[in-house]
Amino acid sequence: MKKRAHPALCRRDVCNPTSFSRLLFWALVLGLLILNLIPIGNSGSNSLSSNQLFRFRLDYLAHSFTFLAYAWLWIWGKIRGYKWFKHFELPLYIAVVLLSAFVFEYAQVLVSWRTFNPKDLYYNLIGASLAIAFILISHFADSKRP
């Protein structure tokens, strides 16, 4: 039996969890891209990059934790019965997470107020890997349910 989306997310008899989940998914990707491109601080202050904890820049944590949103969305969608892609759902979702780690950092080359930083890319990949680990755990735990 196919799960339906939550009734509060549907209009009368028109409920398509697939289109809603796709919209939500791409809204997350676009939102995270925008967050990675907005200017932070001004020329005299790099608000996140100047904050340190034991010689560790706190913006690296932000880079890593950003990608946990993908894991949260995957798990939330699976609870609701959403399918993110029609075919090859898991590999495509993982590919988008990994591709996002690269695109979010390399896109900063295109704007004058941000700069590419290889360490930021490294922490993006750590966050993406963590998100993928949670996604895989969720996927295989769900597939073992009766």
- Is residue 116 predicted with pLDDT exceeding 90? no
Q: For residue 135, what are its two tokens?
A: 């996604």
Most confident of 65-69, 92-96, 110-114: 92-96
pLDDT digit string, tens, across residues 137-146: 999 887 776 6
Q: Is 13 exposed, middle or buried (0-12, 13-18, 19+ CB in 10 A)?
A: exposed
Q: Please give the average per-residue pLDDT across 62-71, as a whole number.
A: 88
Q: For residue 79, what are its two tokens?
A: 């609870």
Residue-level pLDDT at 17: 55
Torsion angle, alpha carbons of 125, 127, 129, 135, to 10: -140
Using 50, 70 and 90 to split pLDDT, how confident is the model at 55?
Answer: low
pLDDT digit string, tens, across residues 68-98: 999 999 998 888 888 888 889 899 999 999 9
Q: Which residue has the higher pLDDT, 13 or 135?
A: 135
C-alpha–C-alpha distance, residues 118 and 14, integer Å: 46
Residue-level pLDDT at 12: 41
The HSE-up count of residue 61 (CA atoms within 13 Å, CB side) is 9
**Helix or strand holding residue 93 (H, E):** helix 89-106
Q: Which residue has the higher pLDDT, 113 or 136?
A: 136
Using 50, 70 and 90 to split pLDDT, how confident is the model at 60?
Answer: confident
- Is residue 42 predicted with pLDDT exceeding 70? no
